[in-house]
Amino acid sequence: MHTSSNDSLHAIIEHCPVALSLHRSDGSFLYAAPACASVYGAEITELFEGTLMSAILADDRERFSDGWNRVIVRGESLDCRCRLENGTTVNFTLGPAGTTPHEGAKIVCAARAIAIAEAEAGDSLERANDALAKVHRDVLVDLLPGLVWYGPVTSDLSSYKLSYMSHYLFEVTGYSAQEWFSTPGFWRDRIHPEDRTELLECTAQMLRGDRESAPPYRFRAADGRYLWLQSSMRIERDETGAPSRMFGLTLDVTELMESREQAEVLEREVEAIAQEILELSAPLIPVGDGILVLPLIGTIDPSRARHALESLLTGIKHYKASAVIIDLTGVALADTSSVASLTRAAHAVKLLGATPAITGIGSRMALTILEAGLLDNGVTVYGAVADAVTALKREPRRRRRSASRRGK
């Protein structure tokens, strides 16, 4: 009974006018019924030497491959109409036929040639619209300095397959379309190891619709150098709300990231130079007998005043100083806020038990200092550093510290 049923099924397939065939995921033939020879215009043995895609007219091949990939990814049947290279217009019905360990996903195909009049009546408007849409898409894609791609996804987002990638991607990365489409894990394996985990998580979030873009990441090009890429993605959903297709745009941001890196290097260099200038503009000089000299040069701005104070307080502890001379000979002008900083510095010196003194005050600065009330804090003023050093050395350290305590 079982043998008879198989024979009957085989007889039906052999005499069926519909071209039935079985294929691997890449379109190569695993089985072709006799009707395939007339529909595809080739001997059965010739069909096994190529793929189903190679029989499709070049203008319709992309649309057919897109539907083919949707069947593989989503596991659903699909009907489409395409023209063959031999001029025949064919209605295709594609459906999943299971998966095997050695051959992977398999697709069953039923192809029926339709009459010329029927084909022209049904296809003329659709073909014109498709052609116009494709022209518009290609023009817009060519104008974009980015990598455009799209393809179907499974409803549970467990897998996807790209149907289209713009040529800009191949030009930028140096890889061929065959490498991108046919190599398992091609994109993932070329992501920089330091960026891979974060990027894959961001990609999963984009697939779920939780975000539309990912941070820039490094991608290894064909020549071995790393490019900086940044991708954005949107998910198209069917009438039930389930994900059906993804659309993406990837930008080459290598120049931008390199510019940022150069700017960061330059910023660090500027900060280092600025720090050196601060160190040079407010050096702390020990002159013996527990006396420190802090010569200030140029303009006293808030950052320099803060640095000078920090340097001064650290130096008092390090040298166990009993007196500090702040020399203003090299300061051309100081405003009220700068003088206020000097007042705080003198007060801090006294809090640490040392005697503060000021030298090198000009006439204009003297007025500002008087307005700030610096002298009211018990700060001694000398004409020159040498005068201050001579005077302070005459006082024993113990007396200096005692005087500093009394002036608090």
Q: What is the pLDDT of residues 221-242, one digit of tens each?
A: 999 999 999 988 888 888 888 8
Of the candidates 323, 329, 284, the residue with the CA atom closest to the CA atom of residue 307? 284
pLDDT at 197: 92
Q: What is the C-alpha to C-alpha distance for residues 355 and 311, in angstroms, rounded to an integer? A: 16
Please give the Cα distance from 192 to 219 (Å, whole number): 6
Between CA 294 and CA 315 the distance in angstroms is 10
Q: Both 254 and 329 in a single domain?
A: no
186-200, 220-234, 325-339, 389-403: segment of lowest average pLDDT: 389-403
What 3 state SS string does the chain have? CHHHHHHHHHHHHHHCCCEEEEEECCCEEEEECCHHHHHHCCCHHHHCCCEHHHHECHHHHHHHHHHHHHHHHHCCCEEEEEEECCCCEEEEEEEEEEEECCCEEEEEEEEEECCHHHHHHHHHHHHHHHHHHHHHHHHHHHHCCEEEEEEEECCCCCCECCCEECHHHHHHHCCCHHHHHHCCCHHHHCECHHHHHHHHHHHHHHHHCCCCECCCEEEECCCCCEEEEEEEEEEEECCCCCEEEEEEEEEECHHHHHHHHHHHHHHHHHHHHHHHHHHHHCCCEEEECCEEEEEEECCCCHHHHHHHHHHHHHHHHHHCCCEEEEEEEECCCCCHHHHHHHHHHHHHHHHCCCEEEEECCCHHHHHHHHHHCHHHHCCEEECCHHHHHHHHHHCCHHHHHHHHHHCC
Count of structural domains, the chain: 3
Interval 41-63: pLDDT, tens: 999 999 999 999 999 998 888 88
Q: Does residue 116 or residue 340 have the better pLDDT? A: 340
Would you state the pLDDT for residue 341? 77
> Residues 294, 327: one domain?
yes
Looking at the structure, tell me whether residues 308 and 193 fall in a common domain.
no
Q: What is the pLDDT of residue 1?
A: 43
Q: Which range marks the domain in which residue 154 is found?
A: 144-258
- Measured from the Cβ of residue 369, the count of other Cβ atoms closer than 10 Å reads 21
Closest CA relative to residue 327, chosen from 353, 302, 372, 362? 362
**CATH number (domain holding residue 13):** 3.30.450.20
Q: What is the rounded average pLDDT of the residues 275-285?
A: 63
pLDDT digits (tens, 9 = 90+) for 6-42: 667 777 788 888 999 999 988 999 999 999 999 999 9
Whether 274 is covered by a domain: the verdict is no
**Cα(84)–Cα(352) distance, integer angstroms:** 94
In a domain, 43, yes or no: yes
- pLDDT band for position 100 (cuts 50, 70, 90): confident
Question: The CATH number of the domain where 287 resides is what?
Answer: 3.30.750.24
Which of 89, 122, 155 is the endpoint of a domain? 122
Higher pLDDT, residue 400 or 162:
162
Please report whether residue 185 resides in a domain. yes
123 has a pLDDT exceeding 70? no
What's the pLDDT band for 374 if we cut at 50, 70, 90? low
* Sheet bearing 89-100, strands edge to edge: 29-32, 19-24, 104-113, 89-100, 78-83
In a domain, 46, yes or no: yes
230 and 341, same domain (yes or no): no
Q: Which pLDDT band holds residue 366 (cuts at 50, 70, 90)?
A: confident
Does a structural domain hold residue 264?
no
Q: How confident is the model at residue 406 (pLDDT cuts 50, 70, 90)?
A: very low
- Model pLDDT, residue 124: 54
**Judgement on whether residues 163 and 228 belong to the same structural domain of the protein:** yes
pLDDT at residue 54, rounded to an integer: 92
339 band by pLDDT with thresholds 50, 70 and 90:
confident
pLDDT band at 150 (very low <50, low <70, confident <90, very high): confident
- Which residues is 380 bridged to in the sheet? 357
| Residue for token pair 């070049």 | 58
- Tell me the pLDDT tens digit for each residue of 303-319: 777 777 888 888 888 88
Domain co-membership, 315 together with 379: yes
pLDDT at 119 over 90: no
* CB 114 within 8 Å of CB 89: yes
What's the token pair of residue 213? Answer: 């873009």
- The mean pLDDT of 172-177, rounded to a whole number, is 85
Which of 223, 258, 293 is the last residue before a domain boundary? 258
Nearest one of 358, 287, 348 to 328, comparing CA atoms: 358
Within a domain: 137:
no
| pLDDT value at residue 407 | 47
Regarding whether 298 and 234 lie in a shared domain, the answer is no
272 assigned to some structural domain: no
pLDDT of residue 109: 94
In a domain, 269, yes or no: no
Q: Choose one of 258, 274, 295: the last residue of a domain.
A: 258
CA 157 to chain centre: 23
| Model confidence band, residue 277 (pLDDT cutoffs 50, 70, 90) | low
| 247 lies in the same domain as 292 | no
Convert the pLDDT of each residue in 68-90 to its tens digit.
988 988 888 989 888 999 888 99
**Same domain, yes or no: 98 and 9:** yes
**pLDDT, greater one: 398 or 292:** 292
Q: What is the pLDDT of residue 408?
A: 47
| Average pLDDT of the residues in 273-284 | 61
* Structure tokens given for 405: 């305590």
What's the mean pLDDT when you consider all of the chain?
80
Could you tell me if 66 and 17 lie in one domain?
yes
If asked whether residues 340 and 387 sit together in one domain, one would say yes
- Which pLDDT does position 163 carry in this prediction? 79
Q: Full-prediction pTM beyond 0.85?
A: no
